[in-house]
Amino acid sequence: MLGKLMKYEVKATARYFLPLYGAILVLSAIIGVRGFQKSWLPFLEFILPTALGLAFVGLFVMTLIMVVKRFDANLLSDEGYLMFTLPVKTHALIQSKALVSLLWILASSFVFLLSIGLLIWREENVGFILREIPALLDRFPMVFLILANILMGALNFLLMVYASLALAQARAITRNRILGGTIVFIVISIIFNVVETVIFTVSGFFLRSSAWVNNLVQSLESAEAATIINSLTVIFLFSLVYLLVKNVLLYFLTHYFLDHQLNLE
């Protein structure tokens, strides 16, 4: 059933994203070719980059709006009555929203990178990138951890939004769910920041004389690239574990309010 929910979600949102992806790539390709830099159509030197910039801003704004509105409209409004009568568990409803939103975030990121590639397309640039691939493969553990942190960071944002909206709806914080969710989002962010500050301060106090911590600090201060990379790998690993813990907490917080405290209008 999760697959069917995701298929429905993709169909409902693809009509917004795909045309914008196409426009961004076409504009990037035209600007990259730079055939308009000669005497013909010189005004395009300003218009096309401006249009591309606006398209990127539109993509960012639309992604944010879709993340919020699809969850809010499908699960917390009148449509929620229908969704929660389906023979599916609340877990599947949350997962379908999160996975499809994450899919579009990844797709938007890929389109952005592809657009940059079209803009800077030159033989020397391609050669430089190809020469750097073996070096990246040699540092695969760190590259993998960086990508995993980015992925978990995006998922963390989604789950923060979902938990905030679900809590705001359950407690009827304001008449407007989006406003209430925004307030809760800010409060949750502050709580996490305070907790993180306390953890880092306390752990720094008790571990300041630890040989392992001192070695890690010395490694970061080292001039040797390999030593620094090894230290950064450890840091990214801890960051990934922390993000996983936060995501699990936010996921089950969202599930609890949707499953036990839902207050549909």
d(CA 62, CA 13): 10
Q: Is residue 128 part of a domain?
A: no
Residues 75 and 44 in one domain: yes
Residues 198 and 96 in one domain: no
Domains contained in the chain, number: 2
Residues 147 and 258 in one domain: yes
Model's pTM, two decimal places? 0.82
Residues 83 and 108 in one domain: yes
Task: Specify the 3-state DSSP secondary structure of 20.
Answer: helix
Q: Is residue 89 part of a domain?
A: yes
Residues 1 and 106 in one domain: yes
Residues 59 and 147 in one domain: no
Q: What is the pLDDT of residue 49?
A: 77
Q: Is residue 15 part of a domain?
A: yes
Final residue of a structural domain among 86, 121, 156: 121
Final residue of a structural domain among 96, 121, 146: 121
Residues 23 and 105 in one domain: yes
Residues 34 and 154 in one domain: no
Asked if residues 254 and 159 have their Cβ atoms less than 8 Å apart, the reply is yes
d(CA 201, CA 223): 27
Final residue of a structural domain among 73, 96, 121: 121
Residues 259 and 149 in one domain: yes
State the DSSP string of 240-255: HHHHHHHHHHHHHHHH
d(CA 84, CA 106): 28
Residues 174 and 221 in one domain: yes
Q: Is residue 127 part of a domain?
A: no
pLDDT digit of tens for each residue in the chain (265 aa)? Answer: 788 889 988 998 999 899 999 988 888 888 777 654 554 556 666 777 788 888 888 888 888 888 888 888 888 877 777 777 778 888 999 999 999 999 999 999 999 888 888 877 765 556 666 666 676 666 777 788 889 999 999 999 999 999 999 998 877 666 787 888 899 999 999 999 999 898 878 876 666 666 655 665 666 555 555 556 666 777 888 889 999 999 999 999 999 988 887 766 5
Residues 108 and 169 in one domain: no
Residues 29 and 147 in one domain: no
Q: Is residue 53 part of a domain?
A: yes
* Angle CA 193–195–200, to nearest 5: 95
Q: Is residue 108 part of a domain?
A: yes
Q: Is residue 264 part of a domain?
A: yes
Other Cβ atoms closer than 10 A to 230: 17
What is the residue range of 156's domain? 133-265
Q: What is the pLDDT of residue 206?
A: 62
d(CA 37, CA 71): 45
Query: Which residues have a Cβ under 8 Å from the Cβ of 185 and sit 6 or more positions away?
Result: 160, 161, 164
Asked if residues 168 and 181 have their Cβ atoms less than 8 Å apart, the reply is yes
Q: Is residue 126 part of a domain?
A: no
